[in-house]
Structure formats: C-alpha cells, structure tokens
Amino acid sequence: MERRINSSVSVDCVVFGFDGTALKVLLVDRNSEMGRSPSGEYKLPGSLIFQDESLEVAANRILENMTGLKNIFLRQMRVFSDPHRVSGEDIRWISEYYGVSAERVITVAYYSLLKLEKRILYYTAGKGARWAEVGSIKKLALDHKSILAEGLSALSRDLMQSPIAFELLPRRFTIRQLQSLYEAILGVEIDNRNFRKKILASGYISLTGDRETGVTHKPARFYSFNHATWERDMRGKAKLNFINWRI
C-alpha cells in the first residue's frame, strides 16, 4: 500500500552539532536533497509529512535519513504558517518533487542535537549535506533563515534549564569542553572557577576516573553526566532546573 502525503504540512529540523570549538548546523543542498544535481542553494533538512505519521515520527524519519541515526534528541519549536511563506517557484518545486498538488504549506520546526563524530561527518557528507558554522550562514532557501534564528534562541533558552548540553558532547567530556560549549552557544565568556563550582555543585556530573592523553599540557579529567539521577529527580516535578543560572 502506498503511503499518502499530507501536502499542507511539513517538518523542518535545525540540527545542531558541536565540534569542540564552534556550533554547527546541518544544511542540505536544495536540489541534492531531491536527488538532482546540486544547486549550491542550501536549506534545512525537512519533508512533507505522511498522512499516517505524527510530526515526531516525521522528524525522526528526516533525521535518520540524513544522519543514519535513530532517536536523536528532538524538541519542537513552533509552526511557521504565513500563507505566503512558500509560493511561486517553491510551490511548483515541492509539488513536482513530492508528486502532490501542494498549495500552501505550513511547517513545524524542530531543533535537534547530536554528537559530531567522524561517522556522522562521513554519513552526512555522503548525503551531500554540510555542517556550517552558525555565525557564517548568510542565506538559506525559503524562510529557513528565520527558522534557524528561532532555533538558536530556543537552544540558548533551553541550555539554561535542561541538561541538553550533554546531547552535544561525547559521553565522557572535560569541564573545559562543557564550558566551551556554553560559551559558543551563549556567546559570552564565563569565569572558569565559578563555572566549575556551579556545574559540580549540581550533583549530576561525576568523575569517570580517567583523563586526557597526548595533550601538550596538564591533562584534564573526564566527567560524565548522570542521566539516571537526573531522570529520577525529574520525575513528577513539573519544573526542575538543571542549574540555577542567573539570566
């Protein structure tokens, strides 16, 4: 049985990755996403939804297709619904590609976080996608520039409230890596001593016992995030802040 497409609703994902220094976003070539030769014009990964799938399932489908990974961290942002956000050439392009008669498309934006490992870099490269530094993105197709902007502000808002930083870091990480991530996302400098104090006082980060090797300076100790403890403390509480950041 053929799955039917819902021609008026799409999902677009702002996929963030962190390479240790800069915050990056996954972009796909508008044409190669559609299986044609690359146009050089980029957009966020996305798709119309199927009639029998929820938005979460659609978002996971898009992410798995682009990265090969299932169950990536995913959070809904909001709907972009300007009746003219997709029109003219873009509408024709969508109709043709999906083989439907699209007329007016609203999109539900998600952001998603993943650990930038080699595997992923190969996989996305094979898909004709690229990881762009968030600061250097000048232009995107459709209204994807505003979706990206919304993604960035959602990310920095959420970073202050939930332990989402660990979705962007390897399982074992140094305090400095964590701090660099906070600095990259929030765009501020943080005092190292005070940062360590707060992070460690949270009780959700613990030493793993091993440390960096092969670095040309005092090797840092590795920590890990205690996911289970967080989940336990979280249960039932309507609102629990990871760290009481003053904003």
For the chain, the helix, strand and coil percentages under 3-state DSSP, each to the nearest 5 = 35, 25, 40
Q: Closest Cα to residue 177, out of 16, 17, 20, 11?
A: 20
Nearer to DNA, 79 or 215 (CB): 215
What residues does 15 pair with on adjacent strands?
Answer: 112
Question: Which span (25-33, 72-80, 121-129, 200-208) binds a second copy, by CB under 8 A?
Answer: 72-80
Tell me which amino acid residue 66 is: M
Of 53, 90, 150, 212, the one binding a second copy (CB under 8 A) is 53
Q: x/- string (CB under 7 A) for DNA, residues 125-164?
A: ----------------------------------------
For the record, the structure tokens of 137 come out as 């993105």
State the Rg of the chain over Cα.
20
Nearer to a second copy, 8 or 31 (CB): 8
Q: Is 203 in the site for DNA (CB under 7 A)?
A: no
d(CA 165, CA 152): 13
Question: Which span (22-30, 73-81, 162-170, 201-209) binds a second copy, by CB under 8 A?
Answer: 73-81
Question: Which span (79-87, 92-100, 102-110, 196-204) binds DNA, by CB under 7 A?
Answer: 196-204
Nearer to DNA, 4 or 198 (CB): 198
Of 19, 41, 56, 210, the one binding a second copy (CB under 8 A) is 56
Tell me which amino acid residue 223 is: Y
Tell me which amino acid residue 89 is: E
Tell me which amino acid residue 152 is: L
Q: Is 233 in the site for a second copy (CB under 8 A)?
A: no
The dihedrals phi and psi of 179, each to the nearest 5 degrees, come to: -65, -40
Residue 37's binding partner out of DNA, a second copy, none, with CB under 5 to 8 Å set by partner kind:
none
Residue 156's binding partner out of DNA, a second copy, none, with CB under 5 to 8 Å set by partner kind:
a second copy
The dihedrals phi and psi of 41, each to the nearest 5 degrees, come to: -100, 130
Q: Closest Cα to residue 116, out of 16, 224, 211, 222?
A: 16
d(CA 237, CA 18): 30
Please name the residue that has the structure tokens 């250097």. 136
Q: Is 246 in the site for DNA (CB under 7 A)?
A: yes
Contacts with a second copy, residue ranges (CB under 8 A): 6, 8-9, 51-56, 76, 78-79, 81-83, 103-104, 106, 108, 153, 156-157, 238-239, 241, 244, 246-247
Residues within the interface to DNA (CB under 7 A): 174-176, 191-194, 196-198, 211, 213-221, 244-246
